[in-house]
Amino acid sequence: MREACRISAGALKAAGDAVEPGITTAELDSIAEKYILSQGGVPNFKNYEGYPATACISINNEVIHGIPSNRRKIEAGDIVSIDLGAKFEGYHGDNAATFACGDISKQAKRLMEVTRESLYKGIAAALPGGRIGDISHTVQSFVEAQGFSVVREFVGHGIGTHLHEAPEVPNFGVAGHGMRLASGMTLAIEPMVNAGNYGVKVLPDGWTVLTKDGSLSAHFEHTVVITPDGPKIMTVA
């Protein structure tokens, strides 16, 4: 699983480093896929419930699950959320980050920073003996104190020999509630944060999730293992 996560992180970095004005989302997807294959991994989103690509690439008001396309060019000022994972010898890794293309607005910058920080605060709350709700509440209270909102309809998840396993890891909830956290558990923690309201809608393509109010959205995700010494991030390149 460490290797699956290492490959996932390397692919995310390769795609993120390639974000520049004029590049298409299909080109970014291809960079990620080539990296995963070069490391002996398998893109684990591809064909998952019929998903057609290696990465989900979601721009500006798109929250998650944007489908890469050779007609979709990234422009200066965009924020670009890339979510992808790799499978290696039967185990899965999963990670996401939002990247800036050129100069972005102050609000976009703050949204990215708050979302990234909410992920790290959520990870720090993943302690053996705690509860899933400790993670959820930590993310939600931090994000809302900054004036942003957490998406309700999509959540983080357990991960291991399947991409999505129990338990769900919501980015909203009550501390002290939910499944007990134990050493050895592997979780994908992934706050999706909207600059406006938390409401989302799905495009007719059946995948792309947008903010209902048209506001910007950001997404950061790591695969984490809970150890007796606390949480360790596995998706590091």
Please, which residues bridge with residue 83 across strands? 56, 96
Cα of 61 vs its chain's centroid, Å: 15
Contacting residue, 29, 62, 78, 94, with ligand MF3 by CB under 6 A: 94
**What's the length of the chain?**
237
Smallest separation (angstroms) from ligand MF3 to the CB of 226? 18
Residue 62 interacting with ligand MF3 (CB under 6 A): no
Is the separation of the CB atoms in 72 and 62 below 8 Å?
Answer: no
Nearest to 176 by CA among 116, 132, 128: 132
Q: Is 33 in the site for ligand MF3 (CB under 6 A)?
A: no
Region of 20-28, 30-38, 87-95, 211-219 interacting with Co ion (CB under 5 A): 87-95
Which tokens go with 25? 């989302």
Q: Is 83 in the site for ligand MF3 (CB under 6 A)?
A: yes
Q: Which of 118, 152, 150 is nearest to 135 (CA)?
A: 118
> Which one among 39, 51, 127, 162 touches ligand MF3, defined by CB under 6 A?
51
- The answer to whether the CB of 94 falls within 8 A of the CB of 188 is yes
CA distances from 147 to 114, 133, 144, 188, 213 (A): 10, 21, 5, 25, 15
- What minimum distance in Å lies between the beta carbon of 106 and Co ion? 29
Contact with ligand MF3 (CB under 6 A) among 33, 62, 134, 190: 190
Closer to ligand MF3 by Cβ: residue 77 or 160: 160
Tokens of 31: 């960079």
Q: Which is nearer to ligand MF3, 76 or 202 (CB)?
A: 202
Q: Which is nearer to Co ion, 101 or 169 (CB)?
A: 169
- Is 188 a binding residue for Co ion by CB under 5 A? The answer is yes
Q: Which of 65, 87, 92, 137 binds ligand MF3 (CB under 6 A)?
A: 65
Within 8 A by CB and 6+ apart from 47, the residues are none
Would strands 91-100 and 186-189 be described as parallel, antiparallel, or unpaired?
unpaired
By the rule CB under 5 A, 55 interacts with Co ion: no
Chosen from ligand MF3, Co ion, none, partner binding at 51 (C-beta under 5 to 8 Å by type): ligand MF3
Residues within the interface to ligand MF3 (CB under 6 A):
45, 48-49, 51, 56, 64-65, 83, 94, 157, 188, 190, 221
